[in-house]
């Protein structure tokens, strides 16, 4: 009888959790889930940046993130889903940064707007510690060298929207339609001039050890790039116009 009573006692249901206890357990579980997701993203960003998408396995990512393959499937469905999440983050950052730079000169004449864009974009590229955002640079470089289906995210979200606005701005400066090939060439060249200062930063610091990218130094770089770009745009347009006039002249015929 005693044994039967003790068995019933052992099998008796435990006390239901209070609302506060349930919230505590749910919060703890949610925090653990988010921490696992964050570790996977950070680990994958480093490995994909170092080796590229095709040379990293889900098993390697899971192992270095101290979790399992099921966690990748739970959060991202598969390796491409995880990679697309990272590329999406990069694309959104690109869009936000360039949009902020384009907004900086709102309401001013076109040339001043372009100068404000160049200054704002260069500050975004050079203000931050390159070590902190190196994974983004590595990931973009890898994606450009070995394109995956995720490249469309960079193009559609990170390049096209702000690119259209920059083309219009350059067109306003040159008094040409934004789709004119000369406008497209000039806009692309401006982007290249700015990005060169980011990608060559480490080399520049080695060549000039005393170089420090202070706000004043970045402003100076921006002024030089702006002057160079505007003078080059005008010269290129003038040269082409002269060539077109020479072609249309009676002597040329």
For domain 20-77, which architecture applies? Orthogonal Bundle (1.10)
Residue 128, pLDDT score = 76
pLDDT per residue over 66-95, tens digit each? 999 999 999 999 999 999 999 999 999 999
Q: What is the pLDDT of residue 226?
A: 98
> Model confidence over 19-48: pLDDT tens digits?
665 664 456 667 888 999 999 999 999 999
| Comparison of pLDDT for 141 and 11, the residue scoring more | 141
- pLDDT value, residue 8: 47
Instruction: Report whether pLDDT(197) > 60.
Output: yes
CATH topology of domain 85-248: Tetracycline Repressor; domain 2 (1.10.357)
Structure tokens at 199: 């990608």
CA separation for the pair 187, 183 (Å, rounded): 6
DSSP codes of every residue in the chain: -HHHHHHHHHHSPPPPPPHHHHHHHHHHHHHHHHHHHHHHHHHHHHHHHHH-GGG--HHHHHHHTTS-HHHHHHHHSSHHHHHHHHHHHHHHHHHHHHHHHHHTTTTS-HHHHHHHHHHHHHHHHHSS-TTTTHHHHHHHHHHHHS--TTHHHIIIIIIHHHHHHHHHHHHHHHTS-TTSHHHHHHHHHHHHHHHHHHHTHHHHHHHSTT----HHHHHHHHHHHHHHHHHHHHHHHHHHHHHHHHHHSTTT-
Where along the chain do its domains lie? 20-77, 85-248
Q: How far apart are CA 179 and CA 59, in angstroms?
A: 47
Res 215 pLDDT > 60? yes
Mean per-residue pLDDT over the chain, rounded: 88
Is the overall model pTM greater than 0.85, yes or no? no
Q: Is the pLDDT of residue 188 over 80?
A: yes
Q: What is the mean predicted confidence (pLDDT) over 154-165?
A: 95
């Amino acid at each position: 009888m005693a044994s039967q009573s003790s068995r019933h006692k052992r099998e008796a249901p435990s006390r239901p959790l209070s609302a506060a206890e349930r919230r505590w357990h749910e919060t703890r579980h949610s925090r653990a889930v988010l921490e696992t997701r964050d570790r996977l993203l950070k680990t994958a960003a480093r490995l994909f940046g170092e080796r590229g998408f095709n040379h990293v396995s889900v098993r390697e990512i899971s192992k270095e993130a101290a979790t399992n393959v099921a966690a990748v499937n739970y959060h991202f469905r598969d390796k491409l889903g995880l990679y697309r999440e990272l590329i999406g983050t990069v694309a959104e950052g690109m869009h936000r940064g360039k949009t902020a730079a384009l907004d900086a000169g709102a309401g001013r004449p076109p040339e001043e707007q372009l100068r404000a864009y160049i200054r704002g974009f260069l500050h975004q590229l050079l203000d931050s510690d390159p070590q902190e955002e190196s994974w983004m640079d590595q990931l973009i470089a890898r994606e450009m060298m070995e394109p995956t289906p995720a490249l469309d995210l960079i193009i559609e979200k990170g390049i096209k929207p702000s690119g259209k606005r920059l083309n219009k701005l350059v067109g306003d400066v040159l008094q040409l339609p934004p789709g004119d090939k000369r406008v497209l060439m000039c806009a692309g060249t401006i982007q290249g001039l700015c990005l060169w200062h980011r990608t060559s930063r480490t080399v520049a610091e080695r060549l000039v050890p005393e170089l420090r990218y202070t706000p004043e130094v970045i402003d100076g770089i921006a002024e030089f790039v702006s002057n160079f770009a505007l003078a080059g745009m005008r010269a290129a347009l003038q040269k082409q116009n002269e060539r077109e006039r020479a072609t249309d002249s009676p002597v040329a015929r």
